[in-house]
Structure 1
Amino acid sequence: MDPLSEVLSLLKPRSVSTAEVDAGGAWAIQLDDLAGQIKCYIVVKGSCWLTIEGGDAPVRIPEGSCFVMPTGRGAVIGSGQDVEPALASEVLGPTRSGRVITYQGGGDAYVIGTRFEFASPNAPTLLRSMPPVMPVETSGDRARLRGSIELMMEEFREARPGSDLIAQQLAHLILVQALRLYMSTRSHNDIGWFAALADPQLSTALEAMHANPAHPWTVQKLATLTGMSRTTFAERFRARAGETPIAYLTRWRMILASEKLRASEDTVGRIASSLGYESEHAFNTAFKREMGTPPGRYARAARPIGSSHNLDRVMLPGSGQ
């Protein structure tokens, strides 16, 4: 599985609502429910201005564009930069999937928004290193993405048997297509794992680490795969990912370990071995450094009361937990 597919599968995104907003006149909506979520918006008609909390200057989003916001920062969309915004939670209401919301009379801008929540507790770690906003053109050769958007809204409007499930699947498809199209744009200067994945040479190293996280990777081995010298690779990886290749590998191993501790009955020793650690002590140290708690304690906190998992098997003699 490629890194983007693997990360999204691990995050377990679930589309919780999709709405269409038909806005008119001078309008602005403050997106106040973004924490812990990815939001994906498509400007079907007209245009709007997007302002990200703590970000750069407002960005104009033209008709036929899509933008993804994965970091949970507050944002405002509207017809202009000086319009007092209303809260999205008040304008759109709590149950709005498939509904068209007419705001300020409508007629000037038509925006579709889909909100995704995540089942994985690792979502904040993976999302915060992504860009605060990722704009994507859906016109021209982006017809596949635009077609998915049109199909999703058609399902909502016709409300045939199975429409909810089909719309959910199409929302996931739209998210992946938008992320993939953004990665193909070489004009951005983002920093993080997503930025490294968008680099054709660095993505080779990331794919190798994701395909075999237990392998005893070194900077030299990874550099050889990319066709770069060790020094060039190390410098470029750090500049794009914001961390060293080995730091990335360790963090990815610990994310995988945390998922196994939550969902499997494997002992700490078995999980450590499956991720390339010959020493359980070394694994425990790495896990605590990355996750802030020893693996045994993490497992006990993550598993529900009454779980059939035998937690005593996680606590190994001499593990220091």
Structure 2
Amino acid sequence: MDPLSDVLSLLKPRSYVSSGFDAGGDWSIQFADQRERIKCYAVISGGCWLSVEDVADPVRLESGDCFVLPSGRPFRLASDLSLTPVHARTIFPPARAGGVVTLNGGGGFFLVGSRFAVSGQYAGAVLRTLPAIVHIRKETDQAALRWSVERMMQELREPQPGGYLIAQHLAHMMLVQALRLHLSKGAEGRVGWFFALTDSQICKAITAMHNDPAYRWTLQELAGHVGLSRSAFAMKFKATVGETPIEYLIRWRMLLAADRLENTSHPISAIAVSLGYESESAFSTAFKREMGSSPRQYCRREKIPATRRDAEAIRVME
């Protein structure tokens, strides 16, 4: 797979609510910390303002726009940002797939989309590498998402057998398409693996590491793989990704290890070998340095959050 598919697959996003929001009049809604959820929406009609915590400028959303909020940060949607916001929990009922929430009689603004839960204790670290806001407003880009949006609307307004599963897959398509379109706009001056995917040489190096994470990659080999000198490659990778190639490789290996510890019954020794470590002790040392706990501690701790994440599926939208 390509690096973006790799990461999204590792997160295992699941659309636990696909729904609509129909608002009229003046309104302002504050959404709390999303607890490592991804939100992916499309504006069907009307317009509003979007303000995300720690992002300097609010974004104006208009009919046809799509947006993704991958970081899980608190945010606000409002017809007028000068209005005092009300908390989302006072408006949105317990999460119900396919529901449409109406505010002030509706008719002025309509939004459809999905909220994703992601898996693993490592999810937050991965999500923070994605942009805070992905805003798709170019008409040609919107057209690429139009089919998914229109089908999503149909599933919400005309419930049919199997509709929940269809809405889930449509929401996944919207998420991947939006991130892909965001990358296509370029990322000059932006730092991080996600933005690095727009650079053909750095993307080629990242892809190589993803394709064979157990291989003992050296700086010289990676540089030769992309046609750069060792020093030029090292400088460019650090400037583009924000860490050295070897640091990136180790972090990617540990994310894969965390996923396998959580989702397979493979022994730690086997996971260590599959990721290029000759001994379990060497692997455990690297894992603890990167993830903050030993593999065994990680396994024990992961059993508790899994239950809590399942409970989140029936909580209110906040």
Q: Does TM-score exceed 0.5, indicating one fold?
A: yes
Number of aligned residue pairs: 304
Residue 50 of structure 2 aligns to a residue whose secondary structure is: strand
Equivalent-residue separation in structure 1 for 2:106 and 2:296 (angstroms): 55
Deviation at 1:33, TM superposition (A): 5.3
Q: Which residue of 2 aligns with 1:90?
A: 90
Instruction: State the Cα deviation string for residues 236-293 of structure 1 (Å, max 9, x = none).
Output: 2222222111111101101111222233343333222211122433222111101112
Equivalent-residue separation in structure 2 for 1:45 and 1:189 (angstroms): 34
Q: Conserved in 2, the CA contact under 8 Å of 1:205 and 1:222?
A: yes
Q: Which amino acid aligns with 2:107?
A: G
Equivalent-residue separation in structure 1 for 2:29 and 2:138 (angstroms): 23
Equivalent-residue separation in structure 2 for 1:243 and 1:43 (angstroms): 37
Equivalent-residue separation in structure 1 for 2:98 and 2:214 (angstroms): 44
Deviation at 1:182, TM superposition (A): 1.0
Kindly report which structure 2 residues correspond to 1:38-187, keeping only aligned pairs within 5 A, or say none: 38-137=38-137, 139-187=139-187
Equivalent-residue separation in structure 1 for 2:234 and 2:101 (angstroms): 50
Deviation at 1:141, TM superposition (A): 4.6
Q: Which amino acid aligns with 1:102?
A: T
Q: Which amino acid aligns with 1:58?
A: P
Deviation at 1:126, TM superposition (A): 0.6
Kindly report which structure 2 residues correspond to 1:244-255, keeping only aligned pairs within 5 A, or say none: 244-255=244-255
Q: Which residue of 1 aligns with 2:283?
A: 283
Equivalent-residue separation in structure 1 for 2:235 and 2:26 (angstroms): 48
Of 135-144 and 155-164, more deviation after overlay is shown by: 135-144
Matched, 1:236 2:229: no
Q: Which amino acid aligns with 1:212?
A: D
Deviation at 1:303, TM superposition (A): 5.2
Of 182-191 and 157-166, more deviation after overlay is shown by: 182-191
The structure-2 alpha-carbon separation of the partners of 1:15 and 1:67, relative to structure 1 and needing over 3 Å to count, comes to same
Q: Which residue of 1 aligns with 2:34?
A: 34
The structure-2 alpha-carbon separation of the partners of 1:259 and 1:141, relative to structure 1 and needing over 3 Å to count, comes to closer
Matched, 1:226 2:226: yes
Structure 2: any 5+ residue segments left out of the alignment?
Answer: 305-318
Q: Conserved in 2, the CA contact under 8 Å of 1:139 and 1:146?
A: no
Q: Conserved in 2, the CA contact under 8 Å of 1:156 and 1:164?
A: no
Q: Conserved in 1, the CA contact under 8 Å of 2:51 and 2:59?
A: yes
TM-score, normalising length: structure 1: 0.88
Q: Conserved in 1, the CA contact under 8 Å of 2:98 and 2:164?
A: no
Residue 36 of structure 2 aligns to a residue whose secondary structure is: coil
Deviation at 1:138, TM superposition (A): 6.2
Equivalent-residue separation in structure 2 for 1:41 and 1:265 (angstroms): 36
The structure-2 alpha-carbon separation of the partners of 1:35 and 1:157, relative to structure 1 and needing over 3 Å to count, comes to same
Deviation at 1:188, TM superposition (A): 6.0
Q: Which residue of 1 aligns with 2:314?
A: none
Q: Which amino acid aligns with 1:197?
A: L
Residue 18 of structure 1 aligns to a residue whose secondary structure is: strand
Backbone CA RMSD of aligned residues: 2.0
Q: Conserved in 1, the CA contact under 8 Å of 2:134 and 2:182?
A: yes
Higher RCO, Cα 8 Å, sep 6+ = 2
Q: Conserved in 2, the CA contact under 8 Å of 1:138 and 1:145?
A: no
Q: Conserved in 1, the CA contact under 8 Å of 2:53 and 2:74?
A: yes
Q: Which amino acid aligns with 1:255?
A: L
Q: Which residue of 1 aligns with 2:313?
A: none
Q: Which amino acid aligns with 1:200?
A: S
Equivalent-residue separation in structure 2 for 1:229 and 1:208 (angstroms): 17
Q: Which amino acid aligns with 1:36?
A: E
Q: Conserved in 1, the CA contact under 8 Å of 2:20 and 2:156?
A: no
Deviation at 1:184, TM superposition (A): 1.0
Equivalent-residue separation in structure 2 for 1:188 and 1:233 (angstroms): 17
Q: Which residue of 1 aligns with 2:20?
A: 20
Q: Conserved in 1, the CA contact under 8 Å of 2:113 and 2:152?
A: no
Deviation at 1:196, TM superposition (A): 1.6
Equivalent-residue separation in structure 2 for 1:283 and 1:95 (angstroms): 41
The structure-2 alpha-carbon separation of the partners of 1:5 and 1:142, relative to structure 1 and needing over 3 Å to count, comes to same
Equivalent-residue separation in structure 1 for 2:141 and 2:12 (angstroms): 29
Equivalent-residue separation in structure 1 for 2:179 and 2:213 (angstroms): 24
Q: Which residue of 1 aligns with 2:195?
A: 195
Equivalent-residue separation in structure 2 for 1:135 and 1:83 (angstroms): 23
Deviation at 1:172, TM superposition (A): 1.0
Q: Which residue of 2 aligns with 1:292?
A: 292
- How many percent of aligned residue pairs carry the same amino acid? 49
